Amino acid sequence: MLHDDTLTGIRRRDAIADLFEDWVSARADALDLGGQSGFAVVAVGSLGRREMVGYSDLDLILVHDDRYPERLSDVADGFWYPLWDAGIALDHSVRSVADALRVTREDASAALGLLDARFLAGDQDLADLMVKSVRNLWRTEARLRLPQVIEAAEDRWRLTGEIAHRAEPDVKSGRGGLRDIQLLNALALAQLTDGLARLDPGSVGSPLAQAYDLLLDVRDEAHRIAGRARDQVRAQDADEIAAALGVADRFALARLISDAGRTTSYAVDAGLRTAQNNVGRRGLSRLRRSPLRRPLDEGVVEHGGEVALAKSAIPSRDPGLVLRVAAASARNRLPINGPTMERLAAYAPPMEEPWSAEQLADLLVLLASGFDMTGPVEALDRVGLWGRMFPEWEAVRDLPPRDGIHTWTVDRHLIETVAAAAELTTDVPRPDLLLLGALLHDIGKGRGGDHSVIGADLARTVGRRLGLWPEDIETLSETVRHHLLLHRVVGRRDCTDPEVVADVAATLGNDPVLVQLLGALAEADSKATGPGVWGEWKASLITGLVERVVAHIGGDPQPVIPRVATEHLMLAERGGLHVTSRPGDGPNMTVVTMIAPDRPGLLSKMAGVLALSGLHAHSASVATHAGHAVDTFVVMPTFGGPPDVALLRLRLAAVLDGDRDPVAELAAKTAQRLPQAGLSLRTAVPVTRVVAPPRARWLPGPDDRWLLELRSADDEGLLARVAAELEKAGGDVAWATVATLGATAVDTFSIRLPDDGPAVREAMSAAVLAVCSPMR
């Protein structure tokens, strides 16, 4: 019956469990272990849960009460030897109740196993005493053991990886597998969670119970096909497993397994957070003051180590709240509170199309967070919010790869590519389009046809939805269309051949920005594909090809000197100090123009006033006219409404009179926050964790001036600090263009240098880079 192919799923598992239980019961009768014999046989592990598959180990404990030590050896041999002789894989132990309690206290993994103990034969009172004693001890000490339990689970996850998104998952021990659901049950037994993880009859039909049943069925078939214990679903076995379970093919099976793994991972994350929050909240400790709510963004707070909604937040009236929550989660490396996700899923309205500039910026901040964005995106996807923003995601969700070189499902590969691209955002002139291209480069898969061509059309649709400019939509579409071009060229042609270089340039419309985007995307895509796909040899080929193509085109386009609006020219000619404002493109964005008599250090003072007023500069243009600086900033408040122009003018006047030093005040605020790991200059808001290093390069510019191009992780006060360093080094900023593209600042300064020597430029760029390095 162990290998009866006519039985499947739970029927086969029940049959196997009945077979072993009947044998144990008959053997106990033969050894005269009934009644008050002082011996009992208890099942743990798979048999304890009645989940025996064909080649599972048989986990048995012989419990004794020390009354008949002279019989112990004979009774144990009477059970173990017949099983060994039959070739049954046996995991056995002989314990008294005291032994079981000692093991429960000393070994967290063994304790979790003992929680599944179930009486099979012999002295039932003795067995019940052991089971109840172990569970009572676990309830008493689980709070103290929780760190050890979590550490053991994390070690297991590092060893086996995830089930979701994996091409060959370990359905038992992988993250999101059977052991994780068993862990949730143990936490529920200790009353550290709300008990929703229990797989009792009342939970039948729940997503978690369905996931558990599926993984059990898959594991059962994997054992049967392999003819031995095998918990990993191999690609060569997947079609046969699918056929046995009535699933269309191995790709459909992979999607089911991935979905089950994601359901379980989401549940175990929530369960562990709940358990950690409940630790130490018993007795009088429940009376202690609740954790304070720390503001993170408009309508978003940290509460109890999780991202939650502010009390004033109304999801039904705030379409952008979803992205602010996700971005705050990634920035702060904090999970999103479960009730928060439920409220957002139930009440958040669809975002109007096209998206506002603020909503697009929040998406880009999320994507630029690298691997820290994985959790928030997964949370949004599990409750349907990610698919609501990107309906195109449905076709690639849990879609398995079609070749063995890919490690991940298509949707996870896209997220992994974005995370890898986040490390390259300062390598390209358009980091925003790099991140979006990484997110969409394989979005055309699973639809039939050339996924690059299909994806290019889908990218146009997404670009219009996101509110990109028409030329940026075209660049994004071409990035998706040609994302495999460089791989093919270096793999099939001589990439040093001038004709090949010219052909690549012509194919890409002689667009140097597109060429650089494709070079960075090729690296990110390769790193996200699997181990060994990206190496030094391939990196040198693609990097060299990109450099040659850009050189053939003629290099990067020169930045354009900012134009000054007519009304601002008139104010500069009138003279004096002026501050004006008008609404920006986004609902919370304001265009602030500051005009003052030009003097050294003026840019850092203006930018500092804005930063100290809680205004984050998303872009800026710096110009001069009639002896006056005319600096225009597109700003967004960290919290609250638009800036008060009269108050900004008063603060700027005080700074110009020497009453305040905004750069010094920013530095003092930085020093106060340094002990709090990860905090930036922004009030209460950690810096976005862009892992790409800052980069600066000098380019010859017009009017015999040098241009300093700076790419760096954005942060409040960045422009003020950079300008202050340039001014301290003797540089005079003639004009500048400043842009924040998601979470990356791309700034160009036209500078009059005190000395045209390379040493001056090198020292100035080093000083600027020193204040740009992102906090990790």
Q: What pLDDT was estimated at residue 6?
A: 62
Which structure tokens are listed for 207?
């997503």
Q: Bigger pLDDT: 660 or 592?
A: 592
| CATH code for the part of the protein at 9-144 | 3.30.460
Which residues, listed in sequence order, are joined to residue 747 by a DSSP beta bridge? Answer: 710, 738
Query: What pLDDT digit, counting tens, does each position of 72-116 carry?
Result: 999 999 999 998 988 888 899 999 999 999 998 888 888 888 999
The CATH number of domain 399-554, selected from 1.10.10, 1.10.287, 3.40.50, 1.10.3210: 1.10.3210
Q: How far is CA 437 from the centre of its chain?
A: 18
List the beta strands (DSSP E) in 5-79: 39-43, 58-64
In the 8-state DSSP scheme, what is residue 701? -
Confidence category of residue 202, pLDDT binned at 50, 70, 90: very low
- How far is the C-alpha of 148 from the C-alpha of 154, rounded, in Å? 10
- Helix boundaries (H) for 368-409: 374-382, 385-389
Number of H helices, E strands in the chain: 29, 15
CB neighbour list of residue 496: distance below 8 Å, 6 or more residues apart = 544, 548
Highest mean pLDDT among 501-510, 553-562, 767-776: 501-510
CB neighbour list of residue 92: distance below 8 Å, 6 or more residues apart = 59, 60, 61, 62, 79, 80
Which structure tokens are listed for 295?
């503001």
Residue pair 633/620 in contact by the 8 Å Cβ criterion: yes
Task: Indicate the Cα dihedral angle 275, 279, 282, 284, nearest 10°.
Answer: -140
Q: What pLDDT was estimated at residue 319?
A: 92
Query: What pLDDT digit, counting tens, does each position of 257-307 carry?
Result: 988 998 898 889 888 888 887 775 554 444 455 557 788 888 999 988 889
Query: What pLDDT digit, counting tens, does each position of 379-416 carry?
Result: 999 899 999 999 999 999 988 887 767 788 899 999 99
- How far is the C-alpha of 554 from the C-alpha of 481, rounded, in Å? 23
Which structure tokens are listed for 253?
């099976």
Q: What pLDDT was estimated at residue 281?
A: 52
Give the closest residue to 489 by CA, choosing from 519, 532, 534. 519
Where exactly does CATH 3.30.460 map onto the chain? 9-144
- How far is the C-alpha of 742 from the C-alpha of 358, rounded, in Å? 10
Asked whether the predicted pLDDT for residue 687 surpasses 70, the reply is: no
Amino acid at 514: L
Q: What pLDDT was estimated at residue 177?
A: 92
* CA geometry: angle 353, 354, 360, nearest 5 deg: 115
Cis-peptide, bond into residue 354, ω within 30° of zero: yes
- How far is the C-alpha of 92 from the C-alpha of 101, rounded, in Å? 17
Among 16-30, 365-379, 682-696, which is the least confidently predicted range? 682-696
Scanning the structure block, which residue is given the tokens 């422009």?
719
Which structure tokens are listed for 123?
């002295």
Among 161-165, 212-216, 633-637, 759-763, which is the least confidently predicted range? 161-165
Among 181-195, 388-402, 409-423, 568-582, which is the least confidently predicted range? 181-195
Q: What pLDDT was estimated at residue 69?
A: 86
Residue pair 421/438 in contact by the 8 Å Cβ criterion: yes
Where exactly does CATH 1.20.120 map onto the chain? 161-278
Which structure tokens are listed for 457?
């059309």
- How far is the C-alpha of 439 from the C-alpha of 463, rounded, in Å? 12
Give the closest residue to 212 by CA, choosing from 169, 157, 172, 248. 172
Q: What pLDDT was estimated at residue 701?
A: 80
- How far is the C-alpha of 100 from the C-alpha of 40, rounded, in Å? 13
Query: What pLDDT digit, counting tens, does each position of 707-730 carry?
Result: 999 999 888 788 999 999 999 988
Q: What pLDDT was estimated at residue 577?
A: 95
List the beta strands (DSSP E) in 203-305: 294-297, 300-303
Asked whether the predicted pLDDT for residue 512 surpasses 90, the reply is: yes
Asked whether the predicted pLDDT for residue 672 surpasses 80, the reply is: no
Q: Which fold has domain 161-278?
A: Four Helix Bundle (Hemerythrin (Met), subunit A) (1.20.120)
Mean pLDDT on 616-622? 90
Which structure tokens are listed for 740?
């924040």
Phi first, then psi: give them for residue 276, nearest 5 degrees. -65, -40
- How far is the C-alpha of 606 from the C-alpha of 609, rounded, in Å? 5
Which structure tokens are listed for 434?
């790099």
Residue pair 536/523 in contact by the 8 Å Cβ criterion: no
Q: What pLDDT was estimated at residue 180?
A: 92
Say what the pTM is. 0.81
- How far is the C-alpha of 278 from the C-alpha of 192, rounded, in Å? 6
Phi first, then psi: give them for residue 441, nearest 5 degrees. -65, -30
Residue 684, classed as helix, strand or coil, is: coil
Confidence category of residue 5, pLDDT binned at 50, 70, 90: low
Mean pLDDT on 113-140? 93
Q: What pLDDT was estimated at residue 197?
A: 47
Q: What is the mean pLDDT of the chain?
A: 87
Residue pair 192/143 in contact by the 8 Å Cβ criterion: yes
Which residues, listed in sequence order, are joined to residue 182 by a DSSP beta bridge? Answer: none
Phi first, then psi: give them for residue 565, nearest 5 degrees. -65, 150
Residue 723, classed as helix, strand or coil, is: helix
- How far is the C-alpha of 514 from the C-alpha of 437, rounded, in Å? 11
Secondary structure, 3-state, 99-117: HHHHHHHHCHHHHHHHCCC
- Helix boundaries (H) for 495-601: 498-507, 512-529, 536-553, 566-574
Residue pair 120/25 in contact by the 8 Å Cβ criterion: yes
Q: What pLDDT was estimated at residue 548?
A: 95
Residue pair 147/192 in contact by the 8 Å Cβ criterion: no
Asked whether the predicted pLDDT for residue 774 surpasses 50, the reply is: no
Which structure tokens are listed for 579?
């501050």
Task: Indicate the Cα dihedral angle 413, 415, 418, 423, nearest 10°.
Answer: -90
Q: What pLDDT was estimated at residue 684?
A: 35
Asked whether the predicted pLDDT for residue 325 surpasses 60, the reply is: yes
Highest mean pLDDT among 109-113, 579-583, 658-662: 579-583
Phi first, then psi: give them for residue 217, nearest 5 degrees. -65, -40
- Helix boundaries (H) for 554-644: 566-574, 602-612
Q: What pLDDT was estimated at residue 11?
A: 86
Q: At what angle do helices 512-529 and 536-553 cross, to 10 degrees?
A: 170
Q: What pLDDT was estimated at residue 670?
A: 64
CB neighbour list of residue 632: distance below 8 Å, 6 or more residues apart = 562, 565, 568, 591, 592, 593, 594, 620, 621
